[in-house]
Chains A and B, each alone.
Chain A
Amino acid sequence: MRKARVLLAVYLAYMLEYRAELFLWVLSGALPLILLGVWSEAARGGSFPFTPGEFARYFLMVFLVRQATVVWVEWEFERDVVEGRLSFRLLRPLDPFFDHLAAHVAERLARLPFVVLLTLLFFALFPEARFLPEPGAFLLGLLLTLLAFLLRYTMQYAIAMLTFWTERATSVGEVFFLLYLFLSGTIAPLEVFPETLRHLALLTPFPYLVYLPAALLAGQKVSLFPGLWVMLSWGGVFLGLWRLLWRLGLRRYSGHGA
């Protein structure tokens, strides 16, 4: 599809204009690599379901999944509304949802070399994390990473729609981010959570944004169901929310003079 191809090509060129920034941004996502040190150390002492090597592998995958699912459409959308640039986007025969989506995908491609570099460096520093993934689970993990990206994008896009009412939707986003940090498995794998908390967490959309794909990629034994259904349901909820809020929001936006 030509539209998608050109969108990607142009946004890739745009992202490459900011190479240095992009590199710093990749680095700023290195939190899991720091946590990895902490948890491997803890695993050596305490009684955890994981060996230090498994922890290392899990957090590496958390790092990679998070790199693949970074979304910032909230900020972008807020700026569009506050600065009135949304009007330009509305004049085009393309829903801004797809325009921003293309920019995100292009950024992913621009980011890739840095991520590969960092991963190689990581393997040099933590030889115990090296492993040969099982192809089936690994492919499934990749597919789930893609789904995780789409879920996170849709979720943030739906939240971004609140800009029509508050002009500061990002503060709502901050709350979500806090929940995300704790419940997604970024700080600790869900296996080390207390039983009740783990069950509750698995009902929220967050573990599917990081934990599930990362665990699959790391070669852990995880059950795909009913998690996948929960994930897809949340996807449906946020898609519906986006469409609804978009329609109501546009009426409001135009009411305020676009």
Chain B
Amino acid sequence: MAGASPMVLAEDLTRHYRVARKEETLLGTLRHFLRRQYQVVRAVEGVSFRIAPGEVVGFLGPNGAGKTTTLKMLTGLVHPTRGRALVAGHVPWRREKAFLKKITLVMGNKQQLIWDLPAMDSLRLNAAIYEVPEGEFRKRVLELAEMLSLTERLHQPVRKLSLGERMKAELLAALLHRPEVLFLDEPTLGLDVNAQVAVREFIQEYNRRYGATVLLTSHYMADIVALCPRVLVIHQGRLLYDGALEGLLERFAPYREVGLTLRHPLPREAFLPFGEVRELEGREVRLLVPRERLTERVAEILKRLPVEDLEVKEPPLEEVFARVYKVAPSGPAESKETR
């Protein structure tokens, strides 16, 4: 995994925010005016990891877990409260030119392309700003546009593009300077399945071709499964897990899903002795069964219930994550402070 000289290094990375707090009453407003109460939000708390050159890592966590704040620290937009980071050999928040030329940040919910002009104009602008030579610029646009099947669209105003095409154009603009490290924050947000697959394949291809390092957040598990052999899981600002995706299942979801089709419907109580009922609809039931007791429970189910069909599966990843976030030790993420 992470070698001697990582491309991305985070050590004890921590970011606290002070947020003013006010009660909604008139008295609260008055108090707020006279003696402001602050609340410290621990957005990121002591996060450490290393990513080797060329690695593709998924960064997972529910909304507000600290993913975006971490990405902003690694791209130099936010100073950490504490801790150390090194990206491509630079301290991000110094924002040196050489550093900025080696990285990119794509945010699925924000866009950098000029809305009323063809994407090509924004690309030319980026090429000039990043000092990409003219010939090289043309070569790269051709190559990337072909990988994204976007060639004909580059001369239409950005506002005329579909959401998927716009995201592809955003990616093209963000990768024109051929960054070594890609920070992708929800790059497939809101895209339909086809566009999602296209973006996913493009990221894979870009990583393969240029050996770029990728740190990617996504709420679509399909993205993570397809792209990231390794995942980081963050919850309430703390790193919960760092390792292979399969390992995550072993550790946080020692369950199997047992799907049953019955000959006739039964009440919920009938299934309680066998496992946790996830879904019950007519003759269809989905149960979560602890893995180490799977054989014994299945035998019992077959013996005692009117089973027509039975199948055993891995639980869906979304459910695993819901479980991870639920069982995670939720220490006090906030503390009060008065000034």
Measuring CB to CB, which residues of chain A are less than 8 angstroms from any residue of chain B?
A: 2-3, 5-7, 9-10, 13-14, 17, 84-85, 87-88, 90-94, 99, 251, 254-258
Q: Does B333 contact A (CB under 8 A)?
A: no
Known contacts A14-B117, A93-B97, A93-B131; 6 further A-B pairs (Cβ under 8 A) = A5-B128, A7-B128, A91-B100, A91-B105, A99-B129, A257-B72
Give the residues in chain A near B69, CB-CB below 8 Å: 257
The tally of CB-CB contacts under 8 A between chains A and B is: 76
Q: Determine if B112 and A88 form an interchain contact, defined as CB atoms under 8 angstroms apart.
A: yes
Q: Determine if A91 and B104 form an interchain contact, defined as CB atoms under 8 angstroms apart.
A: yes
Q: Determine if A10 and B125 form an interchain contact, defined as CB atoms under 8 angstroms apart.
A: yes
Q: Does B101 contact A (CB under 8 A)?
A: yes
Q: Which one, B54-62, B76-84, B264-272, B299-307, is touching chain A?
A: B76-84
Q: Does B116 contact A (CB under 8 A)?
A: yes
Shortest CB distance B248–A (Å): 28
Q: Determine if A3 and B131 form an interchain contact, defined as CB atoms under 8 angstroms apart.
A: yes
Interface residues of B in 107-130 (CB under 8 A from A): 110, 112, 114, 116-117, 121-122, 124-130
- Given the interface pairs A85-B110, A90-B95, A258-B77, the reply to whether A7 lies near B121 with Cβ below 8 Å is no
Q: Determine if A13 and B121 form an interchain contact, defined as CB atoms under 8 angstroms apart.
A: yes
Give the residues in chain B near A2, CB-CB below 8 Å: 128, 134
A10 to B124, CA, bound (A): 8
Of B77, B101, B129, the contact of A90 (CB 8 Å cutoff): B77
Give the residues in chain B near A90, CB-CB below 8 Å: 76-77, 95
| Pairs A-B, 7 closest by C-beta atoms | A6-B128, A258-B77, A93-B100, A93-B97, A88-B112, A254-B78, A10-B125
Q: Does B220 contact A (CB under 8 A)?
A: no
A33 to B7, CA, bound (A): 62
Give the residues in chain B near A6, CB-CB below 8 Å: 124-125, 127-128
Q: Determine if B78 and A10 form an interchain contact, defined as CB atoms under 8 angstroms apart.
A: no
- Given the interface pairs A3-B129, A14-B114, A17-B117, the reply to whether A256 lies near B77 with Cβ below 8 Å is no
Q: Determine if A92 and B78 form an interchain contact, defined as CB atoms under 8 angstroms apart.
A: no
From B18, which residue of chain A is reached at the shortest CB distance? A255
Q: Determine if B77 and A93 form an interchain contact, defined as CB atoms under 8 angstroms apart.
A: no
A9 to B125, CA, bound (A): 9
Q: Does B75 contact A (CB under 8 A)?
A: yes
Interface centre among B69, B100, B127, B129, by most chain A C-beta atoms within 10 angstroms, is: B129
